[in-house]
């Protein structure tokens, strides 16, 4: 049963990373399309305009980092729970073997 849960958690982790990669690619594509539209209209693509557009991307990157940390903490918590259960089971097994 634990293996199935671990497999599902791993699959969810992989899918989350794939989603982040797709969002990053979509953002870059959106930036290129916006720049092309600005240039077609004769608008300059200044550093300030680019910085303002990048703020949303940086916010998204921060969200990615927070999601990665949350995933890692959930995984560590799961591992700690599993180790605790194994330790408890081992302790019960030792107690039975000694005739207590």
Query: Taking the model in full, what pTM does it have?
Result: 0.41
CA distances from 61 to 5, 24, 68, 69, 80 (A): 28, 8, 11, 12, 29
What is the Rg, in whole angstroms, of the alpha carbon atoms belonging to the chain?
Answer: 24
pLDDT at 75: 83
pLDDT at 64: 72
What string of pLDDT tens digits covers the 100 residues of the chain? 567 888 888 888 889 889 999 999 998 898 888 888 877 877 766 666 556 666 666 676 777 777 777 888 888 888 888 888 888 888 777 666 555 5
CA distances from 35 to 1, 50, 70 (A): 51, 9, 35
pLDDT at 49: 59
């Amino acid at each position: 049963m634990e293996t199935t849960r671990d497999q599902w958690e791993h699959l969810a982790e992989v899918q989350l990373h794939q989603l982040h990669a797709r969002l990053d690619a979509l953002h870059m594509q959106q930036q290129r399309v916006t720049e092309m539209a600005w240039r077609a209209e004769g608008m300059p693509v200044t550093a300030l305009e680019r910085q303002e557009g990048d703020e949303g991307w940086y916010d998204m990157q921060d969200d990615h980092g927070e999601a990665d940390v949350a995933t890692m903490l959930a995984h560590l918590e799961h591992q700690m729970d599993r180790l605790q259960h194994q330790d408890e089971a081992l302790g019960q097994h030792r107690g039975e073997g000694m005739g207590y």
